[in-house]
């Protein structure tokens, strides 16, 4: 079923109609309209901005899309949960837990006035998941949520908000995709993760849009004392993907593991910016992003480790590995450091290479066909990363993804 609420384009009227369609409380409607003001006020980022040097959206047909009023989004299934845990789609949460949502939604982690696309998301968010885990509650089973692009010219604004109270533990696997069809579509997502003292969160985002999707998004986590985040970003689909993945380590003892698996084929363009921001002493961040590109695909890894004054005894590690599989594919790597404390250990490394003929030759001399030998080397390239995920079904899935990308 194709649902639209009016002409395409991101207009104030579209915001009002969407809010009305969702029968939202006044505060959310006002929040959206204020965000839309910011959207109109803020400049469109472009190549003169350092962060947008490698992704040029000028000429993008903004008027061709409209916010899908009925996208599929929210929990994929709801298992039996410990008392007090809230796991629902965001629209339901706005109605049933307004205080909790209002306290956290786009206020303390990601703000609408940060940039044009954050503002647009805040004005037109239309899908999403809310997960709240009370103090010292442990959710044993991994939770799954999703958001889907369901038709041509749809704009999807998925929002994931996770609040993990002190001492809680939870795993969330977030899936993003489009239903069959190489539709021209637009996605502008925000993921906000709040980790209170001692909380432990594992978050997996797997994105497998169909071909013609343009995606802009951010994942930002704020980590309090002794909390631990393990994040994995899997980017496989879309035509142009521009994302930020940020961990703000704000309490002593906080740790953040940041993993990324990116595989581009055809003319895909992935531009991912990571931030490891150490604002407190005794914090640890450990980042590993692996990008493979074939055909004419291009990947950009731009990482920043920033250690603020006073964040002593920090350990910060950043590694980017790129594998270029074809003539014509490109991989850019920009691993930056800004260090304003002295008592720390901080390293970053980047390596870009091709398939080594010796490795292939070795495997082929053992009787493997060339295609299988290449596949094996690429699997080996990603294995270091995949093996760090303690979820068997995710690992199996990722191996399948890599195999599929090899022949796509």
Partner 1 sequence: MATTNPMGINAEKYKYGFFEPEKYVFKARKGLNAEIVNEISHMKDEPPWMRAFRLHAYDHFTKRPMPKWGADLSTINFDDIYYYIKPTEKQAKSWEELPEEIKRTYDRLGIPEAEKKFLAGVGAQYESEVVYHNLKDEWEKLGVIFLDTDSALKEHPDLFREYFATVVPPEDNKIAALNSAVWSGGSFVYVPAGVRVDIPLQAYFRINAQNMGQFERTLIICEPGSYVHYVEGCTAPVYSSDSLHSAVVEIIVKEGARCRYTTIQNWSTNVYNLVTKRAVAYRDATMEWIDGNLGSKLTMKYPSVYMVEPGAKAEILSVAFAGHGQHQDPGGKVIHAAPHTQSVVVSKSISKDGGRAGYRGLVKIYPGAKGSRSAVRCDALILDDRSRSDTYPTMEIDEEDVSITHEATVSKVSDEQLFYLMSRGVKEDEAMNMIVRGFVEPIVKELPLEYAVELNRLIALEMEGSVG
Query: Binding residues for partner 1, per CB under 8 A?
Result: 48, 50, 309-310, 312, 322, 324-354
State whether residue 15 is helix, strand or coil: helix
Q: Scanning the structure block, which residue is given the tokens 């199996």?
A: 396
Contact criterion met (CB below 8 Å) for 148 and 179: yes
Give residue 402's region: left, alpha or beta (phi > 0; psi -120 to 50): alpha
| Shorter beta-carbon distance to partner 1: residue 7 or 310 | 310
| Shorter beta-carbon distance to partner 1: residue 210 or 293 | 293
| Shorter beta-carbon distance to partner 1: residue 248 or 331 | 331
Residue 201 CA: distances (Å) to CA of 3, 171, 278: 36, 6, 18
| Shorter beta-carbon distance to partner 1: residue 13 or 370 | 370
| CB of 351 vs partner 1, minimal distance in Å | 5
Sign of CA dihedral 391, 149, 379, 328: negative
- What's the count of helices (H) and strands (E) in the chain, helices before strands? 8, 20
| Shorter beta-carbon distance to partner 1: residue 256 or 291 | 291
What does the block give as tokens for 372? 């299988």
| CB of 311 vs partner 1, minimal distance in Å | 10
| Shorter beta-carbon distance to partner 1: residue 279 or 348 | 348
| Strand duo 143-149 + 72-75: pairing | antiparallel
| Shorter beta-carbon distance to partner 1: residue 50 or 138 | 50
- Angle (CA) 127-19-148 rounded to 5° is 20
| CB of 273 vs partner 1, minimal distance in Å | 13
| CB of 301 vs partner 1, minimal distance in Å | 9
Strand partners, 231: 203, 258
| Shorter beta-carbon distance to partner 1: residue 190 or 305 | 305
| CB of 406 vs partner 1, minimal distance in Å | 15
Contact criterion met (CB below 8 Å) for 67 and 10: yes
| Shorter beta-carbon distance to partner 1: residue 166 or 377 | 377
| CB of 263 vs partner 1, minimal distance in Å | 15
Residues 6+ apart with CB under 8 A from 140: none
| CB of 111 vs partner 1, minimal distance in Å | 24
Angle between helices 12-21 and 116-124 (to 10 degrees): 40
| CB of 316 vs partner 1, minimal distance in Å | 8
What is the C-alpha separation between 337 and 314, in angstroms, rounded? Answer: 13
| CB of 305 vs partner 1, minimal distance in Å | 9
Contact criterion met (CB below 8 Å) for 180 and 211: no
Residues 6+ apart with CB under 8 A from 283: 223, 249, 251, 252, 253, 254, 255, 311, 314, 315
């Amino acid at each position: 079923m194709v649902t639209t609420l009016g002409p395409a384009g991101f207009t104030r009227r579209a915001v009002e109609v969407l809010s009305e369609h969702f029968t939202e409380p006044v505060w959310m409607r006002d929040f959206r309209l204020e965000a839309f003001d910011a959207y109109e006020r803020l400049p469109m980022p472009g190549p003169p901005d350092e962060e947008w040097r490698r992704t040029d959206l000028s000429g993008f047909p903004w008027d061709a899309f409209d916010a899908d009023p009925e996208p599929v989004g929210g929990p994929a299934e709801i298992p039996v949960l410990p008392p007090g845990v809230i796991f629902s789609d965001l629209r339901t949460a706005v109605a049933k837990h307004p205080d909790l949502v209002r306290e956290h939604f786009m206020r303390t982690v990601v703000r609408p006035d940060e940039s044009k696309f954050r503002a647009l998301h805040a004005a037109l968010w239309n899908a999403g998941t809310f997960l709240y885990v009370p103090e010292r509650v442990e959710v044993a089973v991994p939770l799954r949520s999703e958001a889907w692009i369901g038709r041509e010219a749809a704009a999807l604004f998925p929002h994931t908000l996770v609040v993990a109270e002190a001492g809680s533990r939870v795993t969330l696997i977030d899936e993003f995709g489009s239903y069959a069809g190489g539709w021209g579509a637009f996605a502008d997502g925000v993921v906000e993760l709040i980790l209170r003292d001692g909380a432990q969160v594992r978050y997996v985002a797997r994105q497998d849009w169909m071909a013609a999707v343009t995606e802009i998004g951010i994942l930002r986590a704020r980590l309090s004392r002794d909390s631990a985040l393990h994040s994995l970003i899997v980017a496989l689909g879309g035509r142009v993907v521009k994302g930020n993945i940020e961990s703000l380590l704000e309490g002593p003892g906080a740790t953040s593991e940041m993993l990324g698996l990116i595989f581009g084929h055809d003319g895909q363009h992935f531009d991912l910016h990571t931030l490891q921001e150490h604002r407190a002493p005794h914090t640890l961040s450990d980042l590993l992003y692996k990008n493979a590109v074939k055909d004419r695909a291009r990947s950009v890894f731009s990482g920043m480790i920033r250690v603020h004054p006073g964040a002593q005894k920090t350990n910060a590690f950043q590694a980017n590995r790129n594998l270029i599989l074809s003539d014509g594919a490109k991989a850019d790597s920009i691993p930056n450091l800004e260090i304003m404390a002295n008592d720390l250990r901080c390293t970053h490394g980047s390596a870009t290479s091709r398939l080594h003929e010796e490795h292939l030759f070795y495997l082929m001399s053992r009787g493997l066909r060339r295609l299988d030998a290449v596949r094996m080397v690429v699997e080996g390239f990603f294995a270091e990363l995949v093996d760090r995920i303690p979820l068997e079904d995710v690992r199996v899935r990722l191996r399948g993804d890599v195999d599929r990308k090899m022949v796509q």
